[in-house]
Amino acid sequence: MLNLSPRSQLVAGVALALLMAMTRGQHFAALNLPSASWAVFFLAGALLSPRWVFPALFLEASLLDLVATGWMGVSDWCVSPAYWLLLPAYGSLWLGGRIFAVLQRDSLDRLDSLAVLGLAVVFSAFVCYLFSGGGFYFFSGRYPEPTFADFVQRVLTYYPRYLGSLALYVGLAAVLYAGFGARLKALRSSETR
């Protein structure tokens, strides 16, 4: 993926898992931060090489939800037969991160890589929302007569919120990645002098 050493990937993976645990819903959050789950899957796709990371993160998300609804008194409104559509939803984010990483592997220091990152985030988030929001609306059984027109209205209402949270976390990660990359380049150039 994006030129991270195995040690850096380990650190990033642990950080992403902790970020999801700290922000998934309001049941585990120490601070009232927006959920980072979407960003975690996108960033895992971009930063972490092992393919087993995706199922591990999905298992973490599912266990967090199970604990929250089963033992912490959180409403189980979102738990329905449509819950399993989170698998392709999160998969689209992970794949979006992977595709971004492949396209930008050798050109992250160029400004146009930000445009590619933005497109990857917007597109993969939209596909994710179609699976997660659309799946819940049409297949959860919570809405007796779902219509396409109502779903379009829901997309216009909820997708920008999810995209905003995703963009916030991915933007912060991009700044950190660029900062560490610049610092590493400076260290390497000072060593070769």
The pLDDT, as a whole number, for residue 54 is: 97
Q: Is there a domain that residue 1 lies in?
A: no
Give the C-alpha separation, 49 to 98, whole Å: 9
Bigger pLDDT: 93 or 112?
Answer: 93
Which whole number is the average pLDDT over 56-72? 85
Per-residue pLDDT tens digits for 145-173:
999 999 999 999 999 999 999 999 999 99
What's the structural domain count of the chain?
Answer: 1
* All residues at 6 or more sequence positions from 125 whose CB lies less than 8 Å from its CB, including other chains: 38, 42, 93, 96, 159, 162, 163, 166
pTM: 0.89
| More confidently predicted of 70 and 1 | 70
Q: Is residue 130 domain-resident?
A: yes
Instruction: Give me the pLDDT at residue 117, please.
Output: 93
Question: Domain for residue 147, yes or no?
Answer: yes
**pLDDT > 60? residue 144:** yes
171 within some domain: yes
Provide, rounded to the nearest whole percent, the portion of the chain with pLDDT above 70.
81
- The boundaries of the domain holding residue 71 are 6-191
SS3 of the chain: the string is CCCCCHHHHHHHHHHHHHHHHHHCCCCCCCCCCCCCHHHHHHHHHHHCCCCCHHHHHHHHHHHHHHHHHHHCCCCCCCCCHHHHHHHHHHHHHHHHHHHHHHHHCCCCCCCHHHHHHHHHHHHHHHHHHHHHHHHHHHHCCCCCCCCHHHHHHHHHHHHHHHHHHHHHHHHHHHHHHHHHHHHHHHHHHHHCC
154 assigned to some structural domain: yes
Q: What is the pLDDT of residue 106?
A: 59
pLDDT of residue 67: 83
